[in-house]
Chain A
Amino acid sequence: AQSVTQLDSHVSVSEGTPVLLRCNYSSSYSPSLFWYVQHPNKGLQLLLKYTSAATLVKGINGFEAEFKKSETSFHLTKPSAHMSDAAEYFCVVSDYPGEAAGNKLTFGGGTRVLVKP
């Protein structure tokens, strides 16, 4: 079975300072891992994904994440926060091995990011 834990439900940062969102996962297989962002009253948008290639993954809007198998972590970072980064972020794992099973995603509880001017 797969599961995801986002270690912070809320993160507050000042504009221009680094952002760190923490995610730990458990998986029975070799997982694929994703970060999605949800702006208020909007749908989810994919920020980046890890699918067993490079362990450091770069995404959109300056975000990146590092897959650390030994720590079962997939933390999301950004060097300098912007006001537009205020949103909710979801860490997601998928490890179903068979295509017939569908790409069933397991979501973390979300981290709400507040950016202060």
Chain B
Amino acid sequence: NAGVTQTPKFRVLKTGQSMTLLCAQDMNHEYMYWYRQDPGMGLRLIHYSVGEGTTAKGEVPDGYNVSRLKKQNFLLGLESAAPSQTSVYFCASSYGGLAYYEQYFGPGTRLTVT
């Protein structure tokens, strides 16, 4: 039982390049989330999904797209990377959407855009 895994762990992009971050969970969770972490700001929600085939915008969605084609996977895409997207990205999942369901976090992806 691996929990939540993220691929890749590190990536360096040039401005304007594109990439996809992959999140996978093996806990059969319905809900999945993408966050970014910047110094002094905690984590901020980018996009989330309440089930296979659904996605919704979070607090800071601009410049990102997501897809949830399979229940266990949640992909985060950057179509044209910008230096402002340099950050650490965390994926999380939860069994349900109510507040008392714990979110389980992956180990993170450190992205640098030059």
Q: Which residues of A contact B (CB under 8 A)?
A: 4, 9, 31-32, 34, 36, 41-46, 49, 51, 90, 92, 94-96, 98-105, 107-110
Cα of A42 to Cα of B106 in the assembled complex, Å: 9
Report the minimum CB–CB distance from B56 to chain A (whole Å): 7
Chain A residue contacts of B103, Cβ below 8 A: 46, 103, 105
For this complex, 21 residue pairs linking A to B, each with C-beta atoms less than 8 Å apart, are A41-B108, A42-B107, A44-B92, A44-B105, A45-B105, A46-B102, A90-B43, A92-B42, A94-B99, A96-B99, A102-B33, A102-B97, A103-B31, A104-B45, A104-B48, A104-B58, A105-B43, A109-B40, A109-B41, A109-B42, A110-B40
Cα of A1 to Cα of B98 in the assembled complex, Å: 16
Tell me the count of chain B residues lying within 8 A, CB to CB, of chain A: 28
Interface residues of B in 87-111 (CB under 8 A from A): 90, 92, 94, 96-103, 105-108
